[in-house]
Amino acid sequence: MNEDDSQNNIENFPPAWKKSKLVEVTTIKGRIGWKGLAKSEFSNSGIIIINGPDIKDGKVLWDKCLRIPVWRHEESSDISVRKGDVLITKDGTIGKTAFIDNLPESASIASGIFLIRAKNEETLSNKFLYQYFNSDNFKGLVESVIEGSVIPHLYQRDLEQLTIPLPPLDEQKAIAKILSDLDSKIEHNKKMNQTLETIAQAIFKHWFIDFESRMKMGSHTNLVEDRWLILNWGRYLRGGTFVMYMKLLPFYSGILFHRIYSIPNKKVSQ
């Protein structure tokens, strides 16, 4: 999708929705140069400074952020981060976004990030603004920048001229909540999948790696009870990585391993 296509999509929104250029309804700020800031000034004390790599999955990884002296923050107080701000990366991996729903302490932004906030929250919800920057309309601009540049960079002048739809405020909030809930569900599922993957790997290691060592050492566990334990874990891992692992080998170290669904009532059928 190119920039023209993304802007044409605006015409497909309900006619009652107003439209506006970003520059008209938002404040867009960025760090202008580094004002002589040297790498030697970064430390573990002072004011948090947010860089592009500190943004992931719509959030700021606060524990990964570096810090700058307080006076450096004060000389650029106009880019001090507030709760409700939207951050967008403009260099490197451009187009990554974060919504500041939690601000543990004072923070500033590095030169590779835009700070964006609504001029009037009675007209534009910052949460709706954040969701707009995750839409195809904005992604179309990012794609056009990447395709047309040797070194991708998102310019403020291009960002300012983007058209944003403006539904009534109550609709903005409803839309933002639905999309935010979906984001939370996706994040929850990703974490659950990671947990199940870890459990499956641990079970695989127990059966197909550690068990061989126990056999060589002459230590025999109760196979029926062990298999019953596996079966119970399998209820949580059904259809996932665990089942794939358990079907890998029908034999291992001379022991017949049964598929998980062939172990009824704690009895192992040969």
How many independent structural domains does the chain possess? Answer: 2
Residue 146 is part of a domain; what is its CATH number? Answer: 3.90.220.20
Same structural domain, 140 and 238: no
Same structural domain, 95 and 219: no
Instruction: Tell whether the torsion through CA atoms of 243, 244, 245 and 249 is positive or negative.
Output: positive
CA dihedral defined by 4, 9, 11, 17, rounded to 10 degrees? -130
Same structural domain, 155 and 221: no
Same structural domain, 161 and 237: no
> At which of 167, 194, 216 does a domain end?
167
pLDDT at 196: 78
pLDDT at 87: 97
pTM comes to 0.67
Spatial distance between the Cα atoms of 39 and 56, rounded to a whole number of angstroms: 23
Nearest to 64 by CA among 93, 44, 79, 91: 44
Residue 235 in any domain: the answer is yes
Same structural domain, 39 and 152: yes
> At which of 167, 197, 220 does a domain end?
167
pLDDT at 11: 59
pLDDT at 128: 94
Same structural domain, 33 and 62: yes
Residue 269 in any domain: the answer is no
Residue 173 in any domain: the answer is no
> At which of 137, 167, 197 does a domain end?
167
Residue 181 in any domain: the answer is no
pLDDT at 237: 43
Residue 172 in any domain: the answer is no
Residue 38 in any domain: the answer is yes
Same structural domain, 236 and 135: no
Same structural domain, 160 and 224: no
Same structural domain, 27 and 100: yes
Same structural domain, 86 and 216: no
Same structural domain, 142 and 194: no
pLDDT at 235: 44
Same structural domain, 127 and 248: no
Q: Work out the number of other CB atoms within 10 angstroms of the CB of residue 23.
A: 15
- Residue 56: enclosing H or E segment and its boundaries? strand 55-56
Q: What is the pLDDT along the chain (270 residues), one digit of tens a residue?
A: 344 444 545 556 778 888 999 999 999 998 776 566 777 788 888 999 999 999 998 999 999 999 988 888 888 888 999 999 999 999 888 899 999 999 999 999 988 899 999 999 999 999 999 999 988 878 887 887 777 677 788 888 888 988 899 999 999 999 999 988 888 887 778 888 788 778 777 776 766 666 555 555 555 444 444 444 444 444 444 444 444 444 443 333 333 344 333 434 444 344
Residue 215's domain spans which residues?
A: 186-262
Residue 11 in any domain: the answer is yes
